[in-house]
Amino acid sequence: MTTAPARDTGRAGAGPARVDLLFEPDGRRVRVPAGVTVFDAASWNGIAIDSTCGGHGTCKKCKVRMLDGAAAPSALDIRAYSPGELRDGWRLACRTLAAGDARIEVPPLVTRPKAATVGVGRQVILRPAVQKRYLELAEPSLADQRSDLERVLDALDDLELRADLHAARVVGRVLRAADYQVTAVIADDVLIDVQPGDTTGRIYGIAFDLGTTTVVATLLDLSTGTPAAVASSLNAQQPFGADVITRISATMMDPAALGRLTALAHETLASLAAEVCAAAGADPADVYEIALAGNATMTHIALGIDPEPLGVAPFILAARLLPEVLAADLGVAVHPRARAVVFPPFGAYVGGDITAGLLASGMDRDARVRLFIDIGTNCEIVLGNRDWLLATAAPAGPAFEGAAIRCGMRAADGAIEVVSMTPDGLELQVIGDAEPAGLCGSGLVDAVTGLVRLGLLDSSGRFVPEAGAAGLAPGLAGRLTTLGAERVFVLHWRGDPGDVPASVYLSQRDVRELQFAKAAIATGWRILLEEAGLAARDIQHVLLAGSFGSYLSPGNAIRLGLVPDIPVLRVVSAGNVAGEGAKMALLSVRERAAGLALLEEVRYVELSDRADFNDRFIDQLAFPG
Ligand code: FES
């Protein structure tokens, strides 16, 4: 095995300074960027430090002892410890920066830090950007003439806060109406609201996975990290076309289309937000942050940014690093000061949904070499581990979504989703227990895999002659027939006996479409392997992402050559990882920062300008023998 490439930081090797921390008594050594808090360094590496506030500096439970390298105590340390304890090196981990190498003693846990399992089985210690604090304040007097706002900010002096205009507008009325018993709402370092009474139990965020076809919203209770409600709907932009190209084209042909598409995206997000809040009995005004993960085109359009540069060579983004966005800018009617965390895209064809998916998969923290494949019309592929990550996009075409397939359809009622074949016959599973009306992507893959396995399709993807079929699969040979000049295999007979056009069948051309799609994907990951100087056997884990990835059986994916031939248990369908990444960004500012840092850590490999792409693609058309 040759050496893997160094992680491309985009700064020619000038990465951030790192420090080594040794946590006692476990003896765990971690390496983290200088300047992160000891609390974050520990929680990021799965080392639990006591806490009930999640690192916000309010519980004073995150006690650690700096065995060497103790910095000057913070103002909060001075309140939390006696002078003797401070001399002995005791500090609050969430207020102590890892400035240099250090040895740190972590006492046994007294309380369990709040954590949530999100992403691909990841444990995330709760530390949302949004927090609420209940305050009981002294009334103003002639001896205490501080302003209303100062009164609130002084009670929060462990945080360095500024107030936004909304908070300044409401604070006076709220303080008086609520007898100076109020809740401060804080987003990062900004006081965004002051509310009457104790509202600390009501604090929510909404994570959106904005897909070209489907949009999913999850309402998260940010005080517990648990999902309170989930809802999904079709993207209301559907009438403009099924894929991103048709929607970009619409904006290029009609100047009014962008506004219309943006409004439809907002409509979809707003109605899902209303639906999840209603389902959980939550007041939308108690949603203080939303997160959105989508491909580059969907993200551009939702923000009202012209997507034209994405659709024409040389395929660039109109905007990569996005300005601060509010939920209101995306048409979502929640708290008026709620911010929106929008996952930025790597490039025109590797979008924010992939940034979010990588975060959820933890690829950037794993020592194993892993392959991440998000299968769709455009297939995004990432290879790497915690030291380096390479990404590319392969044009797989619409076969996996059932389009461009003669009897293809979306995964809806009537679609054949599972096909099990033996030489004696076949069994179908149909969505909605309806009569089969067509074939969706997973059914297509099952059917082709079954036919390859039984020998009815040879490794070049051709149907074998009818005469030979009877010997290979006596119970299926009668289904192998012709429609006009084309060979077809009938999966479900409909209409009169032998009425092929009325039936659900797989044609020779359909098999070719699938071969094109799988060849594009296999070429993509093989080129990434080559760039990394690795072989397929070096891949230790494969993650199949996206809605199609979750229906695809790992065994079939290997059999077709869509993924490397590694033990089947190491190929995992990961489901909606983009939505999971969006949830993680709401639950933990650390995870959010790690997600944004990915932008600098992934090196993009362009396939379209490679002279050898076509030859490599043709090599990958055959099914493995
Ligand atoms: S984690 Fe609560 S004060 Fe440090």
Taking only the tens place, the pLDDT of each residue in 450-504 is 999 999 999 999 999 988 898 999 999 999 999 999 999 999 999 887 899 999 9
What is the whole-number distance in angstroms between the Cα of residue 588 and the centre of ligand 1?
A: 14
Residue located nearest, by CA, to atom 2 of ligand 1:
59
User: What mean pLDDT do residues 74-101 have?
Assistant: 91
Q: Which amino acid is at 140?
A: P
d(CA 17, CA 32): 8
d(CA 356, CA 344): 9
In this prediction, residue 111 has a pLDDT band, given cuts at 50, 70 and 90, of: low
pLDDT, residue 159, reads 81
Does ligand 1 come within 6 angstroms of the Cβ of 94? Answer: yes
Residue located nearest, by CA, to atom 1 of ligand 1:
55
What b/e sequence results for 470-507 when a residue is b if at least 16 CB atoms lie within 10 Å of its CB, and e otherwise? Answer: eeebeebbebbbeeeeebbbbbbbeeeeeebeebbbbb
Q: What is the DSSP letter of 350?
A: B
pLDDT, residue 239, reads 86
Per residue in 241-293, pLDDT tens? 878 888 999 999 999 999 999 999 999 999 999 999 999 999 999 999 999 99
- Beta strands across the sheet bearing 214-221: 226-234, 214-221, 204-210, 287-294, 339-342, 325-326
How long, in residues, is the chain? 625
Does ligand 1 come within 6 angstroms of the Cβ of 63? Answer: no
- The answer on pLDDT for 169 being more than 90 is yes
User: What mean pLDDT do residues 189-208 have?
Assistant: 96
Radius of gyration of the chain (CA): 28
How far, in whole angstroms, is CA 402 from its chain's centroid? 24
- The answer on pLDDT for 219 being more than 90 is yes
Per residue in 6-16, pLDDT tens? 333 333 334 45
Strands 287-294 and 325-326: unpaired
Does ligand 1 come within 6 angstroms of the Cβ of 113? Answer: no
Give the ligand 1 atom nearest the CA of 59: 2
What is the whole-number distance in angstroms between the Cα of residue 512 and the centre of ligand 1?
A: 59
Mean pLDDT for the chain?
A: 89
Per residue in 54-65, pLDDT tens? 777 877 889 999
- Name which of 288, 317, 346, 302 is nearest 596 in CA terms: 346
d(CA 335, CA 286): 6
What is the whole-number distance in angstroms between the Cα of residue 592 and the centre of ligand 1?
A: 19
Beta bridge partners of 474: none
d(CA 317, CA 311): 9
Give the ligand 1 atom nearest the CA of 93: 4
- Name which of 592, 515, 598, 590 is nearest 560 in CA terms: 515
Strands (DSSP E) contained in 343-396 are: 370-374, 378-384, 389-395
What is the whole-number distance in angstroms between the Cα of residue 18 and the centre of ligand 1?
A: 24
pLDDT, residue 624, reads 87
Per residue in 386-440, pLDDT tens? 899 999 998 877 777 767 789 998 878 899 989 999 999 999 999 888 899 999 8
Does ligand 1 come within 6 angstroms of the Cβ of 57? Answer: yes
For residue 587 the two structure tokens come to: 């639950």
Give the ligand 1 atom nearest the CA of 95: 4
User: What mean pLDDT do residues 166-193 have?
Assistant: 96
Cα distances (angstroms) measured from residue 220 to each of 37, 195, 340, 423, 576 = 26, 21, 14, 49, 16
pLDDT, residue 16, reads 53
Does ligand 1 come within 6 angstroms of the Cβ of 542? Answer: no
10 Å CB burial of residue 119 (0-12, 13-18, 19+) is buried
Q: Which of 58, 104, 131, 588 to mutate to test the pocket of ligand 1 (most atoms within 8 A of CB)?
A: 58
- Name which of 39, 42, 43 is nearest 29 in CA terms: 42
User: What mean pLDDT do residues 75-85 have?
Assistant: 90
Give the ligand 1 atom nearest the CA of 55: 1
HSE-CB of 36 using CA atoms within 13 angstroms: 24
What is the whole-number distance in angstroms between the Cα of residue 382 and the centre of ligand 1?
A: 36
Does ligand 1 come within 6 angstroms of the Cβ of 131? Answer: no
d(CA 588, CA 39): 13
- The answer on pLDDT for 113 being more than 70 is no
10 Å CB burial of residue 624 (0-12, 13-18, 19+) is exposed
d(CA 267, CA 239): 14
Per residue in 300-346, pLDDT tens? 999 999 999 998 888 889 988 888 899 999 999 999 999 999 999 98
Does ligand 1 come within 6 angstroms of the Cβ of 132? Answer: no
Q: Which of 36, 60, 81 to mutate to test the pocket of ligand 1 (most atoms within 8 A of CB)?
A: 60
- Name which of 118, 94, 115, 116 is nearest 106 in CA terms: 94
What is the whole-number distance in angstroms between the Cα of residue 278 and the centre of ligand 1?
A: 33
For residue 1 the two structure tokens come to: 């095995």
- The answer on pLDDT for 363 being more than 50 is yes
Per residue in 597-618, pLDDT tens? 888 889 999 888 888 889 999 9
d(CA 312, CA 320): 17
Does ligand 1 come within 6 angstroms of the Cβ of 575? Answer: no
- The answer on pLDDT for 1 being more than 60 is no
Give the ligand 1 atom nearest the CA of 94: 4
d(CA 302, CA 208): 12
Give the ligand 1 atom nearest the CA of 51: 1
User: Which of 18-27, 312-321, 361-370, 399-408 has the lowest average pLDDT?
Assistant: 399-408
Q: Which of 53, 74, 91 to mutate to test the pocket of ligand 1 (most atoms within 8 A of CB)?
A: 53
Does ligand 1 come within 6 angstroms of the Cβ of 217? Answer: no
Contact 247, 240 (CB under 8 A): yes
Does ligand 1 come within 6 angstroms of the Cβ of 406? Answer: no
d(CA 493, CA 59): 67
Does ligand 1 come within 6 angstroms of the Cβ of 363? Answer: no
HSE-CB of 210 using CA atoms within 13 angstroms: 34
User: What mean pLDDT do residues 553-563 have?
Assistant: 90
Does ligand 1 come within 6 angstroms of the Cβ of 96? Answer: no
d(CA 503, CA 501): 6
pLDDT, residue 552, reads 81
What is the whole-number distance in angstroms between the Cα of residue 48 and the centre of ligand 1?
A: 12
d(CA 38, CA 33): 11
Give the ligand 1 atom nearest the CA of 52: 2
What is the whole-number distance in angstroms between the Cα of residue 339 and the centre of ligand 1?
A: 24
HSE-CB of 580 using CA atoms within 13 angstroms: 23
What percent of the chain is modeled with pLDDT above 90?
A: 63
What is the whole-number distance in angstroms between the Cα of residue 108 and the centre of ligand 1?
A: 15
pLDDT, residue 51, reads 79
What is the whole-number distance in angstroms between the Cα of residue 289 and the centre of ligand 1?
A: 22
What is the whole-number distance in angstroms between the Cα of residue 77 and the centre of ligand 1?
A: 11
Does ligand 1 come within 6 angstroms of the Cβ of 59? Answer: yes
d(CA 601, CA 6): 10
- From first CA to last CA, the distance across the chain in angstroms is 26
CA diameter of the chain:
103
HSE-CB of 540 using CA atoms within 13 angstroms: 7
